[in-house]
Structure 1
Amino acid sequence: MLTTDYAPGMPNWIDLGTTDTDAAVAFYSAVFGWTHRSAGPEAGGYGFFQLDGRTVGAIGPLTEEGATPSWTVYFHTADAEATARAVEAAGGAVRMAPGDVFTAGRMAAFTDPTGADFGVWQPRENPGLQAVMAPDTLCWTELYTSDTAAAREFYRTVFSWTYQDMPMGDGPVYGIVSAAGGGTGADTSQGGVLQLPKEHLDAGAVSEWHPYFGVTDCDATFEMATELGARVQIPPMDIPRVGRVAAVQDPWGAPFALIKGDPTME
């Protein structure tokens, strides 16, 4: 499971790029009870989502030409430059070369060979998210991909991930991700990789990472989000051995998911 004892390859940051930061702050504050703290006038509108005084994510305006609203998942790295070289060698693309974020750390942004965007965070003064695996915080990451085999090999090469296959009934096999050094307990899983069905690809679906936020009541949170303008992707449903999940796009088009079921959130 996710932890704030970060090791290379583990999710350690998420941020939302959007077209209307003020309205998005109001939306997520209503859905999850988050507050917002600006990173300062020199940060170009970037700020932090917080819960009980602990940072659980961030938000900022879109800065890349042609970008659409989305959540970006960042993975811990001890050397952003080395990771950038590994990404290119494995067939990925560098969208934003490693650079300093003041004295907080170094950030870089990439695209995997199947088209999914992600980033890395090399901590200095800011180690990453201050709370995970609690209600209204990040508790899972999931890659929907157009090519499972290519995606698995890419991330295995870049981050040394391992995968455990979990059959999904008549659907595609779900690959549960663990990072090397990702904890000492029995459960070192941090996310999943899932093949996009052909009908979704034919309808225009693209490879992308989704954050899952833990909630105490999936249906109530889903209802709040949709009442505030979120669009339904997956209505609340039970998944055996997982819990109750739902997925939406926020009013500006950024997808995210909800989950109730992990016993650590009880």
Structure 2
Amino acid sequence: MLGTDFRTGSPVWLDLGSPDIEATAAFYGAVFGWTFAPAGPEAGGYGYLQKDGATVAAVGPLTEPGATPAWMTYFKAADALATADAVISAGGTVRAEPVSMGEVWMAQFTDPQGAEFAVLQSGEGLGRTSEDDTLVWVELHVGDPVAAIAFYRELFGWRSAEMQAPGMTYRVLSIADGDQQEGSFGGAAPLRDGQERARWVPYFAVADADATVARARDNGGTVVMPAADVPDVGRIAWLADPAGAVFAVLKPNPRQAAA
């Protein structure tokens, strides 16, 4: 599971583009108990979503013409400029050129199958992960997972391991160094019927998936995939917030939570 010892290729940051930051913060506050902390007047409305004072995600205004609300996963890069070159060489697209904010660099990209992601070159990241109401997993949904993994391997050196899931082959992703199981942070799965586009989906750990689904629905969210048990994983549901940004929740089974 994801930790906070961020190494190259680890999910290190997560933010959400929103058309109404106040309403978005209120929704996620009701669902996960998060509080919103503005980043300051110079940040253009961007701010931090926090649990007990630790940042677990962030939210800001939509900045691209025609952009729709969506969660953005940032992966740790050793060199954002070099990563941008690697993205182009491997067939991806640079959506936002690398930019520095002091010692921090960030950039946004689209992979060859259309999934958007970003990188962060920084010594810091999310304050909490892999506990209730924090990021625990990220999942790539694309038409060709094998080709997608090859693309990201060029950027980050990721490893993958196949496992059989109902109706598909699922591929568990891990960073390049250390123990492969301990370094796992996400997975890749083929697009299913009704999925309109490739994307990265964040999973948040929860104490009770069904109760979280109910809170989301009661506060204007939509149930994309009802809560269901996945063998050897836990109980999962897909949701969308009132603006349409898709995310997932996971109640890990006891063995998975202890791993």
Show the counterpart of 1:231: 222
Matches within 5 A, 1:89-238: 89-101=89-101, 103=102, 105-124=104-123, 127-169=124-166, 171-181=167-177, 183-184=178-179, 186-197=181-192, 199-200=193-194, 205-238=196-229
Counterpart CA distance in 2 for 1:234 and 1:148 is 21
How high is the TM-score relative to the length of structure 2?
0.95
Once the two structures are TM-superposed, the CA of residue 249 in structure 1 deviates from its matched residue by: 0.8
For each residue in 1:205-237, what CA deviation from the matched residue of structure 2 results, as whole angstroms up to 9, or x when unmatched? 100000000000110011000111111111010
For each residue in 1:181-210, what CA deviation from the matched residue of structure 2 results, as whole angstroms up to 9, or x when unmatched? 2x558532100000013x335xxx100000
Gaps of at least 5 residues in structure 2 are: none
The CA RMSD measured in Å over matched residues stands at 1.5
Q: Identity over aligned residues, as a percent?
A: 49
Show the counterpart of 1:16: 16
Number of corresponding residues: 257
Counterpart CA distance in 2 for 1:217 and 1:149 is 33
Gaps of at least 5 residues in structure 1 are: none
8 Å contact from structure 1 (residues 216, 265) kept in 2:
no
For each residue in 1:11-55, what CA deviation from the matched residue of structure 2 results, as whole angstroms up to 9, or x when unmatched? 000000011111000000111011111111001110001101111
Show the counterpart of 2:251: 260
8 Å contact from structure 1 (residues 175, 193) kept in 2:
yes
Change beyond 3 A, Cα 1:176–1:21: same
Change beyond 3 A, Cα 1:220–1:249: same
Counterpart CA distance in 2 for 1:110 and 1:120 is 8
8 Å contact from structure 2 (residues 174, 180) kept in 1:
no
8 Å contact from structure 1 (residues 159, 179) kept in 2:
yes
Over 3 Å off, 4+ runs: 183-186, 262-266
